[in-house]
Amino acid sequence: MDRAASRLATQGSAGAASGDEPPRFEVAAPVTGAPLAFVVYGDTRFSRREKVVNAPARRALVSRIARENPAAILIGGDLVYEGTDPDDYATYESETLEWAKQKIPVFPALGNHEFTGCTRGEAAPCLENWWKAFGALALRPYRWYSVSLGPTLLALILDSDSPLRPGSEQREWL
């Protein structure tokens, strides 16, 4: 079982509403009656390219989030610096090991950096890296989905690179 699967198995369940709908994940509220704590974080740009990212600040934020031990982490896009580079996803994996050890589920959105390095209309290599990095979420072939956080919060995880115009696939899903 990969690290994302172990987090989901502990924190919530995953599954699509039907065979042709993007999945809806569920993160249970704390059984102790404590407040539901979650983190929304974006523009992390995991990469070893020290001249284009602020890795020390990112590592400090990752560490602080781990100390908070939230029920879930929602990444608002730009998880990696360059979507075509599997090493950027490997950097994410290595720098967030503490999240995995704590079984904190991570729900990423697609931002423009997930598509950096891919040409317009040829997003397949970038999507493949994203889907592989989060294989336990079983997102393929979807680029957007939802997450229920406890009984009252619903997060819509959208693809900022896909249209939201009336009639578009992503808009119709909403």
The whole model's pTM is what? 0.87
Q: pLDDT value at position 20?
A: 82
Residue 156 CA to residue 148 CA, distance in Å, equals: 9
Residue 1 CA to residue 22 CA, distance in Å, equals: 22
Q: pLDDT value at position 19?
A: 63
Query: Cα 1–131–48 angle (5° rounding)?
Result: 95
**CATH topology (fold) of 3-25+36-173:** Purple Acid Phosphatase; chain A, domain 2 (3.60.21)
Contact 157, 146 (CB under 8 A): yes
| CA distances from residue 3 to 48, 105, 119, 165, 170 in whole angstroms, order as listed | 22, 9, 31, 36, 28
Q: pLDDT value at position 136?
A: 92
pLDDT in tens, the chain (174 residues): 333 443 343 333 443 345 689 999 999 998 888 899 999 999 999 999 989 999 999 999 999 999 999 999 999 999 999 999 999 999 999 999 999 999 999 999 999 999 999 987 899 999 999 999 999 999 999 999 999 999 999 999 999 999 999 999 999 999
Q: pLDDT value at position 121?
A: 81
